[in-house]
Structure 1
Amino acid sequence: MEQERSMTTTRTQLPGDLVAAARDLQPLLRDHAAASEQAGELVAPVADALHDSGLFGMWVPRPLGGAELDPLSSVQVVQTLAEADPSAAWVLMAAALATGTGGAYLGDEAVAAMFTGPRFPVVAGQGTRPGRAVRDGDGYRLSGSWSFASGIKHAQWIHTLGVVEDTGEPLIFVLPVEQAQLVDNWDVMGLQATGSIDYTIEDVPVPAAFTHHGPTETPVRGGDVFRLGIIHFALIGHSGWALGVSRRMLDELAALVRSKAGRPGTMADNPHFHTVYGEAEARWHAARAFVHDAWRAAAAAIGAGRPLDVQEKTMVRLALYNATWAAHEISQAVYRAGGTTALRSGAIQQYFRDMHAGTQHVTSAPGVIEACGRHLGGLAPGHDWLYMNLVPAEG
């Protein structure tokens, strides 16, 4: 049909294209980072560039013109964007997840409505705290209130979690953004440009084709990467984000110290600084290696046609947790070493604030490391992961 033909001929890109596209966007993102923060959302040149590069389609199924980007290339894309602007990277990974998994898991009626025109749709919302849904004929009626809808100011569609009252089934609902009430309340310390505002939905009808089982790992369309399920796309994105933020902070600090080399008493001649910086670099490279190792193993599993086992699921969660808190430690070291430069408006200050916003995400909460320890210590036999919780396995 016309819609599918236009998408596949104008948007399909190879993984290397998207990694290069992210790199090419770095100067633009850096130039507009302050303006996006002030606006509380990505400014138009940034949003347009993410569209024009095809990055919003990095996890869209190939039959819909997307890239179905592999896990390691996806980590690279998000890391590269985060090195230029953490908010832009955060919006991209959140919207790409909701857009791509919608394309993979929703019914044909929904996909035909959403994937039209020369650009990929932007889908955003909240996939954790659930609303409530009641059956209504062949569909549902959805109500609830949600927070942290990153990128929703750029979205045409909302992706949101609800639980069906009579069955307890968790479903993802996708509906036009106009059917929600947006609450413009994003007054925060960091990640200001993500515009991660609240929204409410009150008794809105949603056809069954615009829903899918929340934890599904069975795609309606697309390849093996969609056997990861929604949560693992989130883990990929947050891993790349933590690596990108901490990499930029290290690079900014090194540039600052080099700029003052030759003056008496500067950090450039301070052995203690050399030690601190060397330890921070070691921590970053170790975190990156762990993330890549864990996702290389996960990619091999889905490439072999099997789902991730509980050990592989544990390791990608542990790698993200480690990368996030390694990045937090790096941000602390960079801020201390940066002195009054870090206090003033600029990249180090912005990245310090954004990093401390990122540590509040549920994917790196204390319960995650506790559950990883239970599994790795052999203390949770017969358990498996459901989102970020280790629970008794079904069956």
Structure 2
Amino acid sequence: MEAVLAGVRELLPVLREHAQETEDRRSLAPETVKALAETGFFRLLQPARFGGHEAHPLDFLTCVREIASACGSTGWVASVVGVHAWQLGLFPDRAQQDVWGGDPGTRMSSSYAPTGRISRVDGGYRVNGRWSFSSGCDHATWVLLGGIVPPGDDGTPADFRTFLLPASDYTIEDVWHTVGLRGTGSNDIVVDDAFVPEHRSLSFNDTARCVCPGQEQNPGPLYRIPYASIFTYAITTPIIGMATGAYRAHVDYTRERVRAAYAGVKAAEDPHAQVRVAEAAADIDSAWYALQTNMRELMDLTTAGAKLPMPLRLRIRRDQVRGTALAIRAVDRLFESSGGRALAVGTPIQRFWRDAHSGRVHAINDPERALSMYGRGEFGLPLNDAMV
């Protein structure tokens, strides 16, 4: 995996240089996606039988953090598109063949909020509706959509599932005009009466139980971890990366900044500025340390064939939302200490600040939901949330 990380790091100066251009075009440039693909990044979590690396999640998340430290929008798209290779590995083999059989480099975007209409039909489902916030959809030819299948007449209970659709079954509507993460191209997916065969759907109940059809062909430990443990960190890690980028930009800027309002004193000599940098660094390091610790413990247990204890799964969700909060606090502290010139369009500090706050409002980062689950677990109360 060192080769992939080295390739990603070689791209960082280019990503940093074109960050404003990415924001202005409201989508990643095709050249950027091609360059990322050539490093092998999008194959990190892909099953080995399709030429993927089947890497440790920490390898993937480390690359995500680096990418997001150069350009928040690129890091966000890389993370959410890159993690889909892991989820497809949980689908029935026929679905994996549908996507990767002809081209193992095929990418997927997603929108999991169950905003569409799903109905059961012979052999599968009928899917209709509109799904929003599908980051990177312009650079994908399949999409993963969340939907609730209503209870059946035979007493079959309702089921929250992911549905896999090819580009021929949906249209993309350009609606992405935002204050942050502007370069992610997170547009709407519109589906008009598409048929999705049974093998192209996956229940969230199965992903929560870590028992999925794809494990028959992909038995490795990577595909026996909970969806909520890896996908939630795929949202938090770009924000940690943005905070890292903001930190580096702030330190570089402050080293040379002179505060005219304070008799020409160098900002770097201000003890208050020094304290703020220390506090921001501590928050970023704390968020990343918890992520590393949790991912290593999770994979060590899975590799050993051990059952994943619920306290660990709850701790991962707790630390994930806390990691986002720590990263946001660090960015805020740095932004407040950067002075008025940091407000100028094109400066990295204000862009990282807007991007991080935009990522913060993702539903996965809802702290009350995750922290309440942790509290219920500590008090011995029942848990029935699939996102743990």
Q: Under a length normalisation based on structure 2, what TM-score does the superposition of the two structures give?
A: 0.90
For residues 26 and 109 of structure 1, what CA distance do their matches in structure 2 show? 37
Task: Quote the residue 2:174 is aligned against.
Answer: 184
**Aligned-pair identity (%):** 24
In the alignment, is residue 232 of structure 1 matched against residue 229 of structure 2?
A: yes
Residue 246 of structure 1 deviates from its aligned partner by 1.0
Question: SS at 1:29's partner residue?
Answer: helix
Task: Quote the residue 1:170 is aligned against.
Answer: 160
Task: Quote the residue 1:150 is aligned against.
Answer: 135
Residue 229 of structure 1 deviates from its aligned partner by 3.6
Greater Cα offset, 273-282 or 363-372: 363-372
When residues 155 and 307 of structure 1 are mapped into structure 2, their CA distance, relative to the original with a 3 A threshold, is farther
Task: Quote the residue 2:304 is aligned against.
Answer: 304
Question: SS at 1:160's partner residue?
Answer: strand
CA contact (8 A) 1:249 1:348 kept: yes
Greater Cα offset, 165-174 or 261-270: 261-270
Task: Quote the residue 1:250 is aligned against.
Answer: 247
Residue 307 of structure 1 deviates from its aligned partner by 4.2
Question: SS at 1:69's partner residue?
Answer: coil
AA aligned to 2:317 is: R
For residues 195 and 103 of structure 2, what CA distance do their matches in structure 1 show? 28
Task: Quote the residue 2:123 is aligned against.
Answer: 138
AA aligned to 1:186 is: W
AA aligned to 1:328 is: I
Question: SS at 2:70's partner residue?
Answer: coil
When residues 226 and 289 of structure 1 are mapped into structure 2, their CA distance, relative to the original with a 3 A threshold, is same
For residues 108 and 276 of structure 1, what CA distance do their matches in structure 2 show? 51
Task: Quote the residue 2:256 is aligned against.
Answer: 259
Question: SS at 1:128's partner residue?
Answer: coil
| Aligned with 1:123 (options 104, 108, 112) | 108
For residues 216 and 61 of structure 2, what CA distance do their matches in structure 1 show? 24
For residues 278 and 116 of structure 1, what CA distance do their matches in structure 2 show? 50
In the alignment, is residue 374 of structure 1 matched against residue 360 of structure 2?
A: no
In the alignment, is residue 274 of structure 1 matched against residue 274 of structure 2?
A: yes
| Aligned with 2:238 (options 238, 241, 255) | 241
For residues 97 and 298 of structure 2, what CA distance do their matches in structure 1 show? 31
CA contact (8 A) 1:301 1:308 kept: yes
For residues 140 and 379 of structure 1, what CA distance do their matches in structure 2 show? 40
The C-alpha deviation readout for 1:113-167, integer Å capped at 9, x for no partner, is: 2114565111012123353322222122112221111111111001111222223
In the alignment, is residue 193 of structure 1 matched against residue 183 of structure 2?
A: yes
CA contact (8 A) 1:74 1:237 kept: no
In the alignment, is residue 87 of structure 1 matched against residue 73 of structure 2?
A: yes
CA contact (8 A) 1:250 1:334 kept: yes
For residues 335 and 61 of structure 2, what CA distance do their matches in structure 1 show? 25
When residues 299 and 109 of structure 1 are mapped into structure 2, their CA distance, relative to the original with a 3 A threshold, is closer
Question: SS at 1:125's partner residue?
Answer: strand
CA contact (8 A) 1:157 1:176 kept: yes
Give me the CA root mean square deviation: 2.0
Question: SS at 1:383's partner residue?
Answer: coil
Question: SS at 1:135's partner residue?
Answer: strand
The C-alpha deviation readout for 1:6-47, integer Å capped at 9, x for no partner, is: xxxxxxxxx222222221221221122111111111012201
AA aligned to 2:233 is: I
Instruction: For 1:280-299, list aligned pairs within 5 A.
Output: 280-299=280-299
Task: Quote the residue 1:161 is aligned against.
Answer: 146
AA aligned to 1:181 is: T
Residue 244 of structure 1 deviates from its aligned partner by 1.1
Greater Cα offset, 76-85 or 363-372: 363-372
AA aligned to 1:245 is: M
For residues 103 and 11 of structure 2, what CA distance do their matches in structure 1 show? 20
In the alignment, is residue 353 of structure 1 matched against residue 343 of structure 2?
A: no
When residues 131 and 307 of structure 1 are mapped into structure 2, their CA distance, relative to the original with a 3 A threshold, is farther
| Aligned with 2:23 (options 12, 37, 42) | 37
For residues 258 and 217 of structure 2, what CA distance do their matches in structure 1 show? 56
CA contact (8 A) 2:279 2:330 kept: no
AA aligned to 1:147 is: S
AA aligned to 2:134 is: A
CA contact (8 A) 2:236 2:365 kept: no
For residues 194 and 159 of structure 2, what CA distance do their matches in structure 1 show? 18
The C-alpha deviation readout for 1:176-208, integer Å capped at 9, x for no partner, is: 123113221111111111111112212211112
Residue 356 of structure 1 deviates from its aligned partner by 0.8
Question: SS at 1:325's partner residue?
Answer: helix
For residues 370 and 262 of structure 1, what CA distance do their matches in structure 2 show? 42
AA aligned to 2:161 is: L
Greater Cα offset, 274-283 or 185-194: 274-283
For residues 136 and 78 of structure 1, what CA distance do their matches in structure 2 show? 39
CA contact (8 A) 2:318 2:374 kept: no
The C-alpha deviation readout for 1:55-108, integer Å capped at 9, x for no partner, is: 112211111111122122122111111111111111111112223311x12233
CA contact (8 A) 2:376 2:382 kept: no
**Alignment: residue pair count:** 372
Task: Quote the residue 2:198 is aligned against.
Answer: 208
For residues 368 and 116 of structure 2, what CA distance do their matches in structure 1 show? 23
Task: Quote the residue 1:69 is aligned against.
Answer: 55
When residues 373 and 382 of structure 1 are mapped into structure 2, their CA distance, relative to the original with a 3 A threshold, is closer
CA contact (8 A) 1:126 1:161 kept: yes
Question: SS at 2:222's partner residue?
Answer: helix
For residues 85 and 221 of structure 1, what CA distance do their matches in structure 2 show? 36
For residues 180 and 308 of structure 2, what CA distance do their matches in structure 1 show? 34
Task: Quote the residue 1:221 is aligned against.
Answer: 217
For residues 221 and 191 of structure 1, what CA distance do their matches in structure 2 show? 36
